Amino acid sequence: MRQQQAYTVSCYSGGMLTVLLAFWLFSALELLLTLFPTSKLRRDLAVFISFAVLVVSLALLLLSMSLFTVLLFILGMYRSTNLLRVARARIHKKYLRRSALQTSSWLAIVQALATMAWLSDTHLGLAGLNLWLFIAWADVALATVLMTSTFRHIWTTRFPHLSVTDSGDANLPTLTVAIPARNETDDLEECLASLVASDYPKLEILVLDDCSQNKHTPEVIRSYAHAGVRFLQGKVPDDNWLAKNSAYQQLYTEANGELILFCGVDVRFQPGSLRELVAALQHKHKNMISLIPQNNVPSALTSLETTLLQPMRYAWEISLPRRLFHRPPVLSTCWLIRREIITSAGGFAAVSRSVVPESYFARVSAVQDGYSFMQSSAKMGILSKKGRVEQRATAIRTEYPRVHRRIELVMMLSLTELGGILLPYALVIGSLLHLVHTSLWLPSLIAVIILTATYASVVTLTYRVWLVRALIQLPLAAVIDIALLNYSMIKYEFFDVIWKDRNVCIPVMRVTDQITASE
């Protein structure tokens, strides 16, 4: 009997070792494949290896369900994505080779660490409960960092208290409000109506019709000509420009103001909003301000997705310790900048392909402490009114470019959200149900409390009111955020990302003309 058990264990170990070696073999072939010249053979091999990697990683998971095999299976899925990207070959050859090789190399490093940890646990017994305790307390540390960064940003982004002299007309520079518009609905009319009611004395309102396919957009713009709104007919951008950035460049070229406020049609202003915003810029001696607007509170029943999408978007900006990476938080909804800063930074030609061009100007301004990320106050009264469909489309358009179009970063961020946000909730429930060791309950509960408080504060910042639902919706918000991040990656790498009836993949991903023409 003992001999039979020993034989079974030996066969099982031999099978696991064989599958693991096969997994590494196909991973090595992936690395070599990225160096091959483009050919039909490379595409066929990439598809075959992609399928083989998925099969072998699934076999590892089925033979031994553990933390490490789950990690290797996830690595296998991203390796398969990288290989299919090589097979698809829809982007520029040099960029594809460099990007695929970089992704493959980083995945190999993570895979090596996971394999060593797994072998140590299997043969030396170095992990087990101690590893889970380490992960649980690491989650506490991560949650603390996120909470500290969030609360610091909420405190430092408060709108300053301005005296009467701060907002006096004599000190106000000329201001241009620049709005790109394409295929708009009633949002454009509501935005313009709120702007023409402004009491700002030196105001120019400039709206560019970005080659709209409907007649409504130019008609709305021209209908406000009597109120001083200037109409611009946009030009069709070439493939080296993202359409929105081309529209920004045209608006910047035509603007006469010393300051330029770029905003979308979803923004609403009070009569004194522009005066307060400019006064804040002068009061803080800044060159650029990016604004956190107040958002309409959506219904918990009919617009649940909205309350999950918008706060997570803000959390990406204020919850990360961006100061460590010299990446100041920024939002595209409404941002004010001195004209000379754009000029000295090379204009929008310097960021013609960037999905978030304002982040570049924020970094330039921050070098001399000339940038500020600021909340809209009740007195300022700047409101954002963006629906569920627009928010989802914005997330798909911006998520993958935000991580520099790198598959390995998508994987790392997905794993961080899985392990740092969702895992503490799972461990708390597992401890209560006696599915995991009870010693994991305390650190996991601490992490859950900290994460919940952090997320609730972001929701309160988003809507400027306390919402009870914020106490329970973080896990679902994290799941949706992970799904959108990976969906954005898949869309950019293999399909088209359509925004305002244009394919933004062409400038962002450097999709080749030949492929585009054939599709």
DSSP-assigned letters across all residues of 227-292? GTEEEEE-----TTS-HHHHHHHHHHHH---SEEEEE-TTEE--TTHHHHHHHHHHHTT-SEEEEE
Check whether 479 has a pLDDT greater than 50.
Answer: yes
Task: For residue 87, give the nearest of 124, 47, 50, 56 by alpha carbon.
Answer: 47
Between 305 and 476, name the one with better pLDDT.
476
Between 391 and 37, name the one with better pLDDT.
391
Structural contact between residues 269 and 194, judged by C-beta atoms closer than 8 angstroms: yes
Check whether 92 has a pLDDT greater than 90.
Answer: no
Between 197 and 122, name the one with better pLDDT.
197
Sign for the CA dihedral angle at 254, 256, 262, 264 comes to negative
Give the pLDDT score at 387.
Answer: 80
Residue with tokens 């300022």: 380
How many CA atoms lie within 13 Å of 120's alpha carbon, on the beta-carbon side? 12
Give the pLDDT score at 13.
Answer: 58
The size of the chain, in residues, is: 519
Between 1 and 116, name the one with better pLDDT.
116
Using alpha carbons only, what angle is made at residue 113 by residues 111 and 117, rounded to the nearest 5 degrees? 115
Give the pLDDT score at 316.
Answer: 93
Lowest mean pLDDT among 10-14, 92-96, 174-178, 295-299: 10-14
Give the pLDDT score at 338.
Answer: 98
> Each residue of 344-362: pLDDT tens digit?
999 999 999 999 999 999 9
Give the pLDDT score at 276.
Answer: 93
Q: Which two tokens stand for residue 381?
A: 């009264």
Task: For residue 23, give the nearest of 15, 11, 33, 34 by alpha carbon.
Answer: 15
Structural contact between residues 228 and 196, judged by C-beta atoms closer than 8 angstroms: yes
Q: Which residues of 82-118 are buried (b: 16+ CB within 10 A; e: fewer)?
A: bbbbbbbbbbeeeebbebbbebbebbbebbeebbebb
Lowest mean pLDDT among 15-24, 119-128, 352-361, 403-412: 119-128
Check whether 514 has a pLDDT greater than 80.
Answer: no
Q: Where are the domains of the chain?
A: 1-126, 128-154+401-519, 158-293+331-386
Give the pLDDT score at 35.
Answer: 74
Query: Cα torsion for 335, 340, 346, 351, to the nearest 10°?
Result: 0
CATH topology classification for 158-293+331-386: Spore Coat Polysaccharide Biosynthesis Protein SpsA; Chain A (3.90.550)
Q: Which two tokens stand for residue 52?
A: 């083989």
Give the pLDDT score at 89.
Answer: 85
Q: What's phi and psi for 64, nearest 5 deg?
A: -155, 100
E strand or H helix at 206, and its extent?
strand 203-209
Structural contact between residues 284 and 160, judged by C-beta atoms closer than 8 angstroms: yes
| Over residues 231-235, mean pLDDT | 93
Q: What's phi and psi for 432, nearest 5 deg?
A: -65, -35
| Over residues 249-276, mean pLDDT | 96
In whole numbers, what is the pLDDT of the chain averaged over residues?
A: 88
- Residues linked to residue 206 through DSSP beta bridges, in sequence order: 178, 230
Residue 151's pLDDT band (cuts 50, 70, 90): very high
Check whether 8 has a pLDDT greater than 80.
Answer: no
Give the pLDDT score at 3.
Answer: 45
Q: Which two tokens stand for residue 39?
A: 């050919």
Give the pLDDT score at 447.
Answer: 98
DSSP-assigned letters across all residues of 13-65? HHHHHHHHHHHHHHHHHHHHHTTSPS-HHHHHHHHHHHHHHHHHHHHHHHH--
